[in-house]
Amino acid sequence: MLNRGNLSAEYVQANIDIVYKNSTLFDILKSFARAIQRNLYKEENVHVIEIESVNIEEKKVLIKKLIQDKKRITFNELTKNIPKLHIVVTFLAMLDLMKNGFIFITQEDIFGDIIISEVSNIDNKE
């Protein structure tokens, strides 16, 4: 069993001779360069990332349409089963619509669901 925290004791238990040497900056840089070179030849995992196009204006139109149809919707209903990026853009669109007076937002409890309501004359504002 190794004694965590006591490096010298771990080396003794593992039968490794410890050689202390005053290292220069050049020695440290050489070690760093060797480590980098060693990692250059390793096979890397390749991940394909698909770029999704999400538009705030499209989300604003969606929110306005849903509000016109239902008169009131919760943020959870609005963002149910959509990716995180879409949730963020939807939230920004909601804030923009609120700022410009198109929707009214309420929240009954702290950290509760956000209720989005219609403001009169929603069609005539944009």
Tokens of 19: 């050689």
What would the mean pLDDT of 31-45 be, rounded to a whole number?
A: 71
Predicted local confidence at residue 108, as pLDDT: 86
pLDDT(124) > 50: no
Residues 14-30 have pLDDT tens digits of: 665 655 567 677 777 78
What structural domains and CATH numbers belong to the chain? 56-125 (1.10.10.580)
Name the residue type at position 46: V
Confidence of residue 50 (pLDDT cuts 50, 70, 90): confident
Confidence of residue 44 (pLDDT cuts 50, 70, 90): low
97: how many CB neighbours lie within 10 A of its CB?
24
Q: How far apart are CA 64 and CA 50, in angstroms?
A: 28
Instruction: Dihedral sign for Cα 95, 52, 73, 110, please.
Output: negative
Instruction: Find out whether 117 and 105 touch, Cβ atoms under 8 Å.
Output: yes
What would the mean pLDDT of 74-102 be, rounded to a whole number?
A: 92
Predicted TM-score of the model (pTM): 0.56
Beta strands across the sheet bearing 103-107: 72-74, 114-118, 103-107
Q: How far apart are CA 124 and CA 114, in angstroms?
A: 24
The secondary structure element, H or E, covering residue 115 is strand 114-118
